[in-house]
């Protein structure tokens, strides 16, 4: 057995935001693809719960059309919420989170990469599936489009907010209930504007104002929340 | 390469009980420090304070004279392995090593990872997901990392856990090579390793 | 002159200081409260549109002001505790949270009773009420998170970060009446002047001062209990018990 005698050149301290982002994104996407169960559960839950409402309130088309956007949004929100613990749980348990926080790569970089990968495995499938569920509720074409656009802008915000709450509750007692108490109130503005966009479209007004606010919210959240998540992770590892 | 780790007046507690107070030492290139003490005495906490994971109550950790906590240069020079060494079950041995090196911004020449895995005896199993390896084999993934990572400072918590005699011999050779090339190490361990430590630190005894 | 900024940051010193300060704040709260209620219930005239029902404003508006102000102070203490790694600032944040939650609840509850005769409904999902409800949940979340860990210091830090993240809700509550058409009227009380009757304004201000003094007194009393609990193994606390 020969131990390699030559050492590699020393790493340059730093790395960059985009290098850290791509590292985390590629790794988490690879892990998600090898364990598609998580994504399938999120999607299955979404479809299942959205199907419960017509069974509960009666299948009258006008009523369903009226409640459709809101119900689909609430189901997407709950599905996104259920997928949150998985974002950090496995890395926290096997010591990877420690290794990541000790890396010379900038922390907001890999945090943003993890959040982006999480959204790709949860929020993105929900967004793509929403038009199908909208058909179940007999929503018009332009309403479906507005709904999908609102979800496309809103679910990343949910992932960002959810990441902050998940990181804060790592290792806490109270598990899912505590996470619900923290995350769901913060989700409320996203829900209000997201469902509002589709409802505005459905009643003939433009969805543009709501979508603009969602877009602005996404930009603010994408800038401000990764550092907050970093602070929460450092607190969790302390 | 000359480097120096200086710890001055470090104190830490877990909950209401103080684990250690006023711990000071220096480790220079080519030296290693053994941290010894009974279970639960604070060895792990000391290592985590040095690495900057845990915030100490008092004291400071300096790397080459500059404050270590949060410093990117320090992070680039530090290789830390705790009880959970950060191995993903769903990635293969080879992917785990590559991922760990990429995380630390270490560039790897072609074939180096495979050669390192061969040196630790995992060549034929390098494509298996880590969940299918035994505890000792997973530890050897960490040894492959030690072969390839050029970090100057090793902070390892119980590095010989789950390793058989062959693995222990391998680690000892790696440690000797590391020290000979100017590296330093701080190891929490019960065992007596072949290269004698420059200093022993007893905690909680 | 060298100012000993951190002198009062020692829990044992602050424990004694809070002990003799608190009763005075309760006295001030009672005085301002009596004056405010007199102005509000006796001196202020009957409202042209709402009659006597409007008088709930003297509880509702000061309570909502306090709910936001206390959250802001709590978040500031949280920020201080994270930046300087002090214990007392975190304990003050914990002491403020229940009082803040109480005022938020009072604001929502009195608003609900006001809404019934004036708007015809107990609850409306307008922007200001919804964001005030989110504030109530933020308080609950703060308290729950602070108490969810074995190590209370970890709870301090996590809750402080949560309080800072939730600060974004305050401008939303405040500006919601400007940004949206809601059932709430626009701001009638500004720093530059107000559009309401002078007695009504004075009534609200006096009640706000009363609630403020009460909040300080209640927090100082509560923080003493928190200090005793957290420092229970130190010799000065043990000396108190004997």
pLDDT at C35 over 70: yes
- What is the signed CA dihedral for C207, C212, C218, C222, rounded to 10 degrees? 160
Residues of A with CB under 8 A from a CB of C: 164, 168-169, 171-174, 178, 181-182, 184-186, 188-189, 192, 225, 228, 231-232, 235-236, 238
Q: Are A198 and A69 in contact (CB under 8 A)?
A: yes
Query: Helix A86-93 and helix A141-168: axis angle, to 10°?
Result: 30
Instruction: Give the closest of C131, C133, C145 to A178, CB-based.
Output: C145
Number of separate domains in chain A: 1
Contact A3 B108 (CB under 8 A): no
Tokens of B161: 């856990």
Average pLDDT of chain C is: 87
Q: Are A108 and A227 in contact (CB under 8 A)?
A: yes
Is residue C203 within a helix (H) or strand (E), and if so which, with residue range?
helix C198-230
Contact C233 B16 (CB under 8 A): yes
Residue C115: the pLDDT is 83
Instruction: List the single residue in A with minimal CA-CA distance to B92.
Output: A31
Task: Look at residue B77 and tell me if it is in a domain.
Answer: yes
Looking at beta carbons, which residues of chain A come within 8 Å of C161?
Answer: 168, 228, 231-232, 235
Q: How many CB pairs under 8 A join A and C?
A: 60
Determine which of B103, B117, B159 to mutate to test the interface with A (most A C-beta atoms within 10 Å).
B103
Nearest to A92 by CA among C31, B53, C9: B53
Task: Look at residue A54 and tell me if it is in a domain.
Answer: yes
Instruction: Tell me the CA distances in angstroms from C153 to A73, C86, C89, C149, one per residue in order.
Output: 38, 10, 12, 9
Determine which of B16, B19, B45, B53 to mutate to test the interface with C (most C C-beta atoms within 10 Å).
B16
Residue A6: the pLDDT is 44
Torsion angles phi and psi, residue B156, rounded to 5: -120, 135
Cα C133 from Cα A188, distance rounded (Å): 10
Cα A98 from Cα B198, distance rounded (Å): 28
Determine which of A157, A165, A184, A185 to mutate to test the interface with C (most C C-beta atoms within 10 Å).
A185
| CB-CB neighbours of C186 under 10 Å | 9
Task: Look at residue B122 and tell me if it is in a domain.
Answer: no
Across-strand partners of B81? Answer: B156
Instruction: List the single residue in A with minimal CA-CA distance to C126.
Output: A192
Task: Look at residue A205 and tell me if it is in a domain.
Answer: yes
Nearest to A80 by CA among A149, A144, A156, A145: A156
Strand B153-157, strand B58-63: pairing: unpaired
Cα A122 from Cα A156, distance rounded (Å): 10
If you average pLDDT over residues C106-111, what whole number do you get? 93
Domain of A95, in residue numbers: 17-237
Q: Which residue has the higher pLDDT, A219 or C150?
A: A219
Task: Look at residue B8 and tell me if it is in a domain.
Answer: yes
Model confidence at C6, pLDDT cuts 50, 70, 90, reads low
pLDDT digits (tens, 9 = 90+) for B51-91: 999 988 889 999 988 888 888 889 999 999 998 888 999 99
State whether residue C235 sits within 8 Å of chain B by CB.
Answer: no
Q: CA of C168, closest CA in chain A: separation in Å?
A: 10
Task: Look at residue A6 and tell me if it is in a domain.
Answer: no
Is residue C174 within a helix (H) or strand (E), and if so which, with residue range?
helix C169-179
Looking at beta carbons, which residues of chain B come within 8 Å of A111?
Answer: none
Q: How many CB pairs under 8 A join A and B?
A: 117
pLDDT at C191 over 60: no
> Which chains have 3 or more CB–CB distances shorter than 8 Å to chain A?
B, C
> Which chains have 3 or more CB–CB distances shorter than 8 Å to chain B?
A, C
Domain of B38, in residue numbers: 4-90+152-202
Instruction: List the single residue in C with minimal CA-CA distance to B56.
Output: C85
Q: Please, is C164 exposed, middle or buried when counting C-beta atoms within 10 Å of its C-beta (0-12, 13-18, 19+)?
A: middle
Domain ranges, ordered by start, for chain C: 16-181+200-241
Q: Are C66 and C135 in contact (CB under 8 A)?
A: no
Q: Are A74 and A53 in contact (CB under 8 A)?
A: no
Number of separate domains in chain B: 1
Q: CA of B40, closest CA in chain A: separation in Å?
A: 17
Written as one string, the DSSP assignment of A114-182 is HHHHHHHHTHHHHHHHHHHHHHHTT--HHHHHHHHHHHHHHHHHHHHHHHHHHHHTTT-TTHHHHHHHH
Residue A5: the pLDDT is 43
Cα B126 from Cα B132, distance rounded (Å): 11
Query: b/e string for C125-150 if b means 16 or more Cβ within 10 A?
Result: ebbbbbbbbbbbbbbbbbbbbbebbe
Determine which of A88, A166, A168 to mutate to test the interface with C (most C C-beta atoms within 10 Å).
A168
Contact A10 B107 (CB under 8 A): no
What's the average pLDDT block by block, 10 residues per block, for chain A (238 residues)? 48 75 95 91 94 89 91 95 93 94 93 96 95 91 94 96 95 89 93 92 90 94 95 93
Looking at beta carbons, which residues of chain C come within 8 Å of B55?
Answer: 85
Cα A206 from Cα A210, distance rounded (Å): 9
Lowest mean pLDDT among A4-8, B134-138, B165-169, C218-222: A4-8
Q: Report angle CA A110, B87, B151 to the nearest 5 degrees.
A: 70
Tokens of A73: 């949004």
State whether residue C154 sits within 8 Å of chain A by CB.
Answer: yes
Q: pTM (2 decimals)?
A: 0.90
In SS3 terms, chain B reads as CCCEEEEEEEEEEECCEEEEEEEEEEEECCCEEEEECCCCCCHHHHHHHHHCCCCCCEEEEEECCEECCCCHHHHHHEEEECCCCCCCCCCEHHHHHHHHHHHCCCCCCCCHHHHHHHHCCCHHHCCCEHHHCCHHHHHHHHHHHHHHCCCCEEEEECCCCCCCHHHHHHHHHHHHHHHHCCCEEEEECCCCCCCCCCEEEECCC
Instruction: Give the closest of B75, B109, B177 to A3, CB-based.
Output: B177
Looking at beta carbons, which residues of chain B come within 8 Å of A104?
Answer: 72-73, 75-76, 104-105
Instruction: Give the closest of A90, A102, A105 to B105, CB-based.
Output: A105
Tokens of B174: 């790696």
Looking at beta carbons, which residues of chain C come within 8 Å of A168?
Answer: 145, 158, 161-162
Lowest mean pLDDT among A187-201, B55-69, C48-62, C144-158: C48-62
Torsion angles phi and psi, residue B202, rounded to 5: -100, 130
Contact C161 A189 (CB under 8 A): no
Cα C211 from Cα B178, distance rounded (Å): 66
- Tell me how far apart the terminal alpha carbons of chain A are, to the nearest angstrom: 40
Task: Look at residue A80 and tell me if it is in a domain.
Answer: yes
Instruction: Tell me the CA distances in angstroms from B55 to A167, A198, A228, B13, B47, one per residue in order.
Output: 18, 48, 18, 10, 11
Instruction: List the single residue in B with minimal CA-CA distance to C149.
Output: B15
Strands (E), C104-208: 189-190, 193-194
Residues making up chain C, counted from first to last: 242
Task: Look at residue B101 and tell me if it is in a domain.
Answer: no
Model confidence at B107, pLDDT cuts 50, 70, 90, reads confident
pLDDT at C197 over 70: yes
Nearest to C99 by CA among C205, C206, C17, C219: C219
pLDDT at C174 over 70: yes
Instruction: Give the closest of C138, C161, C166 to A232, CB-based.
Output: C161
Tokens of C157: 């830090």
Contact C145 A172 (CB under 8 A): yes
State the DSSP code for C48. T
Model confidence at C209, pLDDT cuts 50, 70, 90, reads very high
Determine which of C82, C87, C149, C151 to mutate to test the interface with B (most B C-beta atoms within 10 Å).
C151
Contact B15 C151 (CB under 8 A): yes
Instruction: Give the closest of B53, B75, B150 to A10, CB-based.
Output: B150
Q: Are A154 and A190 in contact (CB under 8 A)?
A: yes
Task: Kindly report each contact of residues A182-185 with a partner whose C-beta sits within 8 Å and lies 24 or more positions away, as own/partner.
Answer: A182/C141, A182/C144, A182/C145, A182/C162, A183/A81, A183/A84, A184/A77, A184/A81, A184/C137, A185/C133, A185/C134, A185/C137, A185/C138, A185/C141
């Amino acid at each position: 057995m020969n131990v390699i005698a030559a050492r590699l050149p020393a790493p340059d301290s730093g790395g960059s935001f985009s290098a850290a982002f791509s590292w985390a994104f590629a790794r988490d996407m690879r892990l998600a693809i090898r364990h598609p169960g998580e994504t399938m559960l999120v999607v299955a839950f979404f479809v299942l719960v959205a199907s419960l409402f017509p069974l509960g309130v009666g299948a009258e088309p006008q009523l369903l059309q009226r409640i459709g956007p809101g119900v689909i949004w609430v189901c997407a929100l709950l599905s996104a919420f259920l997928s949150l613990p998985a974002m950090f749980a496995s890395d926290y348990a096997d010591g990877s989170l420690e290794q990541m926080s000790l890396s010379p790569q900038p922390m907001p970089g890999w945090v943003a990469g993890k959040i982006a990968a999480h959204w790709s495995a949860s929020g993105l499938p929900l967004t793509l599936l929403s038009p199908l569920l909208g058909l179940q509720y007999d929503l018009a074409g332009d309403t479906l489009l507005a709904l999908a656009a609102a979800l496309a802008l809103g679910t990343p915000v949910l992932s960002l907010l959810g990441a902050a709450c998940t990181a804060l509750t790592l290792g806490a007692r109270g598990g899912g209930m505590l996470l619900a108490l923290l995350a769901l109130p913060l989700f409320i503005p996203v829900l209000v504007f997201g469902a509002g966009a589709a409802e505005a479209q459905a009643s003939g007004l433009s969805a543009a104002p709501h979508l603009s606010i969602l877009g602005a919210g996404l930009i603010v959240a994408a800038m401000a929340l990764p550092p907050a998540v970093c602070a929460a992770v450092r607190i969790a590892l302390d | 390469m000359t480097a120096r780790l200086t710890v001055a007046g470090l104190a830490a507690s877990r909950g209401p009980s103080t684990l250690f107070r006023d711990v000071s030492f220096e480790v220079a290139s080519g030296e290693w420090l053994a941290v010894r003490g009974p279970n639960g005495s604070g060895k792990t906490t000391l290592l985590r304070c040095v690495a900057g994971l845990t915030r100490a109550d008092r004291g400071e950790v300096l790397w080459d004279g500059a404050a270590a906590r949060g410093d990117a240069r320090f992070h680039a020079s530090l290789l830390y392995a705790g009880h959970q060494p950060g191995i993903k079950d769903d990635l293969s041995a080879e992917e785990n090593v590559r991922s760990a090196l990429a995380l630390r911004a270490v560039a790897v020449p072609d074939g180096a990872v495979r050669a390192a895995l061969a040196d630790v005896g995992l060549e034929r199993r390098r494509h298996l997901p880590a969940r299918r390896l035994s505890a000792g084999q997973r530890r050897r993934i960490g040894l492959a990392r030690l072969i390839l990572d050029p970090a100057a400072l090793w902070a390892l918590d119980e590095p010989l856990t789950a390793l058989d005699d062959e693995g222990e011999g391998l680690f000892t050779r790696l440690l000797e090579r590391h020290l000979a090339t100017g590296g330093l190490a701080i190891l929490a361990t019960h065992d007596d390793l072949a290269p004698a430590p420059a200093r022993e630190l007893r905690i909680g005894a | 002159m060298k100012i000993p900024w951190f002198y009062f940051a020692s829990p044992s010193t602050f424990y004694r200081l809070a002990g003799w300060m608190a009763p005075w704040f309760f006295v001030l709260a009672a005085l301002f409260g009596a004056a405010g209620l007199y102005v509000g219930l006796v001196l202020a005239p009957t409202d042209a549109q709402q009659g006597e029902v409007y008088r709930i404003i003297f509880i509702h508006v000061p309570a909502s002001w306090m709910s936001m102000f206390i959250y802001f102070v709590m978040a500031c203490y949280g920020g201080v505790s994270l930046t300087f790694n002090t214990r007392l600032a975190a304990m003050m944040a914990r002491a403020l949270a229940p009082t803040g939650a109480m005022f938020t609840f009072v604001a929502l509850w009195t608003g609900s009773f006001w809404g019934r005769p004036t708007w015809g409904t107990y609850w409306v999902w307008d922007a200001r009420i919804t964001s005030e409800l989110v504030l109530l949940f933020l308080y609950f979340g703060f308290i729950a998170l602070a108490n969810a860990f074995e190590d209370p210091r970890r709870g301090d830090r996590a809750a402080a970060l949560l309080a800072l993240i939730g600060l974004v809700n305050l401008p939303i509550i405040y500006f919601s009446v400007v940004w949206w058409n809601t059932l709430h009227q626009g701001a009638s009380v500004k720093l530059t002047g107000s559009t309401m009757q002078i007695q009504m304004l004075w009534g609200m201000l006096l009640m706000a001062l009363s609630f403020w003094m009460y909040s300080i007194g209640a927090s100082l009393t509560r923080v003493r209990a928190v200090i005793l609990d957290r420092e229970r193994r130190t010799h000065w606390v043990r000396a108190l018990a004997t």
